[in-house]
Amino acid sequence: MHHFHYAGQKLHCESVDLAAIAQLHGTPTYVYSAQTIADNYRRLASSLTGLDLQICYAMKANSNLAVLRHFANLGAAFDLVSGGELRRVAAAGGDTTRSVFAGVGKSEAEIRLALETGVFGFHVESEPELARINHVAGQLGRKAPIAIRINPDVDAKTHAKITTGKSDNKFGIPLKHAAAAYAAAAQFPHLELKGVQMHIGSQLTSVTPFAEAVAKVVPFVAELKKLYGITYFSIGGGIGIIYQDALASGSQAWWDAQPEAERPLTPEAYGAALTPLLAPLGLKILLEPGRFLVGNAGILLSRVEYLKRGAAKNFLVVDAAMNDLVRPAMYEAYHEIVPLTRDTTRAALKADIVGPICESGDCFAKDRTLQAVGEGELIAFMSAGAYGYTMASRYNTRGQVAEVLVSGSRFELVNVRESFETMVAGEKIPGFLKI
């Protein structure tokens, strides 16, 4: 469910006509729905009732300061993967002491920053990392709270680039070696064993891999509770969102029309499957969702530059590009593309939707059929709230786009469009390169 819908023939975010945002702030522009974020958060939190639950938003999905403040106000903690993300949480007024620090390559500087700022726990990916955290904590005269990430060797059946729980992935320590890793960690004087962590992948559309992984790891977690008195079990994130039929899925009528066997994974189904497995542990349960909370809460506004009619096919050239939204080029990902003004009297147009970058890979969709649109008209890429702006680049010296947050009938620019002057501000031509 989300709050993007047509009011009459105009596409709205909550109560705001998206064309008004495009007119005021230009395109390309990311637009986020505060109400959708809040609904997703509360729905997930209520789906695991009876558990001592702590939701740590995986901010790599969308790290805009306004979005982070919104999550902090909702009561979320955060899942961090860099020192920069830690600083963002602090800058947004979030609670770092309830947040967890993950990632396979934490530097000494990042570990030091996390210890000095305060985090709920380090999610450790390898035995060498244990030694590094112990070393830095010793220098500061502190004990570092840690949980080791377990790799359960469960196939998440998702895209190869976003699966993380198989034995050939770079993440975590294999379950068969985990007991030895905890025994070794217990010998370090500056480490405090607080929990266990796992995460098997992203954009999972079935509850089965989640249940399989949790069931596989729970006996080991129970044993660790007896041996070391651990207090939490983090089961990661990974609940998928709807990319096909994204706009229609914002209505209850669409959900009601789906056959039960084909209905997309919901928080309710997730909670119903996992709560019975987790409740007997008597531990705090951490979730680290990202995409589920923000993916369908955001869109990318874009303007049509040209309709190029070729001999073999049509090309709809828009002002957004792969540097703004890289998922289609990187993952062959699908995003629904809809017009901001709906007109059922128009003929259908079949075309490749492409950006202006000088690469054939700068293509959002091939042979996509949509309402005919022409130069200057506006479109929206749905389901773009996760891994959109955070994965953007300046390729082709294209500045980072603007971001807008909507709440009810109000909207505000929460990140200005990057200027050329800002892009080159840190660059310098050395004196020995004289004209």
Contacts of 177 (CB under 8 A, 6+ apart): none
Dihedral angle over CA of 16, 19, 23, 28, nearest 10: 100
Residue 6 has pLDDT above 90, yes or no: yes
Residue written as token pair 């303007």: 303
HSE-up (13 A, CA, CB side) for residue 248: 9
**What is the reported pLDDT for 155?**
58
Residue 354 has pLDDT above 70, yes or no: yes
Q: How far is CA 147 from its chain centroid? A: 22
Per the annotation, binding residues for substrate are 291, 327, 331, 359, 387
Q: In this predicted model, what pLDDT tens digit does every residue of 118-170 receive, in sequence order?
A: 999 999 999 999 999 999 999 999 999 999 999 887 754 544 444 443 444 55
Residue 435 has pLDDT above 90, yes or no: no
| Start-end of H helices in 360-423 | 420-423
- Choose among 68, 349, 327: nearest CA to 202: 327
Contacts of 58 (CB under 8 A, 6+ apart): 78, 79, 237, 288, 289, 290, 291
Residue 151, φ and ψ in degrees, nearest 5:
-100, 105
Report d(CA 19, CA 301) in Å as an integer.
9
Per the annotation, binding residues for pyridoxal 5'-phosphate are 238, 288-291, 387
Residue 407 has pLDDT above 50, yes or no: yes
Name which of 9-13, 161-165, 262-266, 395-399 the model is least confident about.
161-165
Please check whether residue 191 is in contact with residue 137, taking contact to mean a CB–CB distance below 8 angstroms: yes
**What is the reported pLDDT for 256?**
86
- Percent of the residues in the chain that have a pLDDT greater than 90, as a whole number: 87
Q: In this predicted model, what pLDDT tens digit does every residue of 74-90 receive, in sequence order?
A: 999 999 999 999 999 99
**For the chain, what are the domain ranges?**
34-291, 296-419
Q: In this predicted model, what pLDDT tens digit does every residue of 55-78 receive, in sequence order?
A: 999 999 999 999 999 999 999 999
- Percent of the residues in the chain that have a pLDDT greater than 70, as a whole number: 96
**What is the reported pLDDT for 157?**
52
Per the annotation, binding residues are 238, 288-291, 327, 331, 359, 387
What does the H/E/C string look like for 254-266? HHHHCCHHHCCCC
Q: In this predicted model, what pLDDT tens digit does every residue of 294-336 receive, in sequence order?
A: 999 999 999 999 999 988 899 999 999 999 999 999 999 999 9
Rounded mean pLDDT of 242-248?
Answer: 92
Length of the chain: 435
Active site residues: 358
**What is the reported pLDDT for 159?**
45
Query: CATH says 296-419 is which class?
Result: mainly beta
Q: Which CATH superfamily is domain 34-291 in?
A: Alanine racemase (3.20.20.10)
Report d(CA 379, CA 252) in Å as an integer.
24
Residue written as token pair 């990187």: 330
Secondary structure E strands in 227-347: 232-234, 284-287, 298-309, 314-318, 337-339
- What's the token pair of residue 226? 């007896």
Rounded mean pLDDT of 187-203?
Answer: 94
The packing angle between helices 65-74 and 34-46, to 10°, is 40
pTM of the model: 0.94
